[in-house]
Amino acid sequence: MADSYNPRIEQGATWSVPVTVTGVDLTGFTARSKGRADFASTTTIWDKSSSPGITITAGANSVITLTLTATETAALTRWTVGVFDIEYVSPAGIVTNCLRGRFEVYPEVTY
């Protein structure tokens, strides 16, 4: 089962979330993430696949890092509330969800 995380994303600031995948070497794997208004929505708020928006640092305890740039978060609608997840995919195509949650976009004052 995926871990849960409910972040506040600051509009106009770089937002990054690292996820440690304990005991799994993700060499050769890919990762992806989508943010949506709700689980049933077909419209994405963000859609990231491997590099540059999502990276994998492989090793005995691999780390997947999802990053939204300051420009990307500035384009998010303030007070938006939504859901997201992060998955990794093995070379054989097996998909594992490692993090999911609800996010809220806090408005930027200085821009």
Name the region of 3 (left: φ>0; alpha: ψ -120 to 50; beta: rest).
beta
Q: Please, which pLDDT band fits residue 17 given cuts at 50, 70 and 90?
A: very high
When pLDDT is averaged across residues 56-81 and rounded to a whole number, the result is 94
When pLDDT is averaged across residues 12-22 and rounded to a whole number, the result is 96
pLDDT at 111: 67
Fold of 3-106: Immunoglobulin-like (2.60.40)
**For residues 9-19, b (16+ Cβ closer than 10 Å) or e, as one string?**
bbbbeebebeb
| CA gap 42, 23 in Å, rounded | 34
pLDDT at 37: 93
54-57, strands of its sheet edge to edge: 15-21, 62-68, 54-57
pLDDT for 20 beyond 70: yes
How many alpha carbons lie under 13 Å from residue 50 in its C-beta half-sphere?
A: 13
3-state secondary structure of 71: helix
Q: Please, which pLDDT band fits residue 110 given cuts at 50, 70 and 90?
A: confident
pLDDT at 51: 73
pLDDT at 1: 66
